[in-house]
Amino acid sequence: MSLPRSWIVPDWPAPPRVRAFVTTREGGVSVGEYRSMNLGTRSGDDPRDVARNRLIVREMLPSMPRWLVQVHGTAVADLDALAEDAVATADAAAVSRPGRVAVVLTADCMPVFLADREGRRVAVAHAGWRGLAAGVLENAVAALRCEPREAVAWMGPAIGPGAFEVGPEVREAFVRADPAAASAFAQGRPGKSMADLYRLARLHLERAGVPEIHGGGFCTHGEPERFFSYRRAPRSGRMGAFIWID
């Protein structure tokens, strides 16, 4: 089964056996504000529609994905060690076992794919500002179990710097740990800043030792026909970022 045209396949130098894609709003059965491929069970959508959407995506995967309970934290679930019936509370997942699918859900936060250059292990992280500031990407890189210089990364669709207005506490959370993070913030309205989530993610990946970083340049807030956006519509669906090893 071929992917819907608007779904995103990363353009990155991962080994051929590494497979990944990100869903968009296209291809599902949800209606109204959740139209149409909403994969989030906690967004207020009809659970029957979400279940059907997940079955549609399952047809394009080698196995049932291991859905996480995401909490904007830094934990990384090791899917090789996770029992078949277990559900992990985590905001990233890593896996080496071929055919086992890792996934995170997003709607303005950034999905980040990671792989080692040999295609032996992959990971995906849910990186909003809280997780980024607390170290979710550094933890995901460590979960690859390779030298960071042997890792490659791809940054998926997230809210863009022209739409992500934040308060001073967000800027302070990053700049306190790394003064270079100031370059990711532009002046907004009085007392506010415009945050560049892609720049922040790149800084954290570079600090973790990842030399090759691809992707970026999307804006979920600015493309309402293609992407869900929690900032644009709090009753929003969720997109899925899936990765596995063939």
Residue 105: Cβ within 10 Å count: 23
Q: What pLDDT shows up at residue 30? A: 98
**Domains of the chain, residue spans:** 18-162+212-245
Please list the ranges in the chain whose pLDDT falls under 70: none
pLDDT tens profile 205-236:
999 999 999 999 999 999 999 999 999 998 99
Q: How far is it, in rounded angstroms, from Cα 134 to Cα 233?
A: 26
Calpha distance 113→29 (Å, rounded): 27
**Per-residue model confidence (pLDDT) at position 76:** 98
- pLDDT confidence of residue 47: 98
Q: What is the pLDDT at residue 96? A: 98
Contact, 137 vs 198, CB < 8 A? no
Q: Kindly give the pairing relationship between strand 212-215 and strand 151-155.
A: parallel
Residue 234's pLDDT is what? Answer: 87
Position 99 scores a pLDDT of 98
Architecture of domain 18-162+212-245: 4-Layer Sandwich (3.60)
pLDDT score at 36: 98
Q: Residue count of the chain, please give it.
A: 246
Supply the pLDDT for residue 245. Answer: 98
Give the tens place of pLDDT for each residue, 136-175: 999 999 999 999 999 999 999 999 999 999 999 999 999 9
For 2, other C-beta atoms within 10 Å of its C-beta total 6
